[in-house]
Amino acid sequence: MAKLIARPATDGLLPIEIGKAILEDAQPQAITWVAPFNRKKSAVSKTLGGFPGPGEVVEVKAGRALSVGPGQAMILGAPLDCEGAAVADQSDAWTVVALEGAAARDVLARVTPLDLRDAVFPEGGTARTLVGHMTASLTRVGPFRFEIMVFRSMTQTLIHELERAMKHVDARTKL
């Protein structure tokens, strides 16, 4: 039988550094979607070590839990299972990249309709939104660091869109 070689979706494409922004791979070990059944939310929250409300990020036992929809979280970190919830392994379905640097927010502002100002999208905030024409999950993990998650099949499109925006922001600073 053929021996398959595991390769990250961003293999050979990242990192990219342009001006005051760097784009790099940020794929976690596993990505798990968790949606507690009716009246099971507090039990699930206890098992996991927390459960994020709308727009929230919570550090849980397995890693970082992002709110991704009504009653739904995506947990980035170690693989997990959980009683009382619908659980689906999404590890190979999404690509996670990180955009960091003083220009990171200006770069993102070119590709997403989300309000990225500190008061609206502070560190520790997360949102489902658009990046270009793709639905994406955006999380602000540091003052100058954002994690962007899209469907794995759209990895090259995401990198293309972000690289273009990075070039354009950098070009303007050199005028």
Partner 1 sequence: MRLTCPHCGDRDLREFTYKGDALALLRPDETANPQEWVDYVHNRDNPAGTTSELWYHGPCGSWLVAVRDTTTHVTHRTLSLAEAGK
Q: Which residues bind partner 1 (CB under 8 A)?
A: 54-55, 68-70, 113-115, 127-130, 135-136
Between 102 and 130, whose beta carbon lies closer to partner 1?
130
In the complex, the smallest distance separating the C-beta of residue 68 from partner 1, rounded to whole angstroms, is 7
Between 8 and 69, whose beta carbon lies closer to partner 1?
69
What is the C-alpha separation between 130 and 158, in angstroms, rounded? 11
Residue carrying structure tokens 């791979």:
25
Give the residue among 106, 166, 112, 167 at the shortest CA–CA distance from 134.
112
Q: What's the token pair of residue 174?
A: 């050199």
Residue carrying structure tokens 């990192």:
15
In the complex, the smallest distance separating the C-beta of residue 115 from partner 1, rounded to whole angstroms, is 8
Between 12 and 70, whose beta carbon lies closer to partner 1?
70
In the complex, the smallest distance separating the C-beta of residue 9 from partner 1, rounded to whole angstroms, is 21
Residue type for position 25: D
C-alpha distances (whole Å) from 8 to each of 33, 83, 157 are: 20, 30, 15
What is the C-alpha separation between 67 and 31, in angstroms, rounded? 13
Say which DSSP state 70 is in. Answer: T
In the complex, the smallest distance separating the C-beta of residue 136 from partner 1, rounded to whole angstroms, is 8
Q: What's the token pair of residue 10?
A: 């961003």
Between 68 and 103, whose beta carbon lies closer to partner 1?
68
In the complex, the smallest distance separating the C-beta of residue 127 from partner 1, rounded to whole angstroms, is 7
Between 10 and 126, whose beta carbon lies closer to partner 1?
126
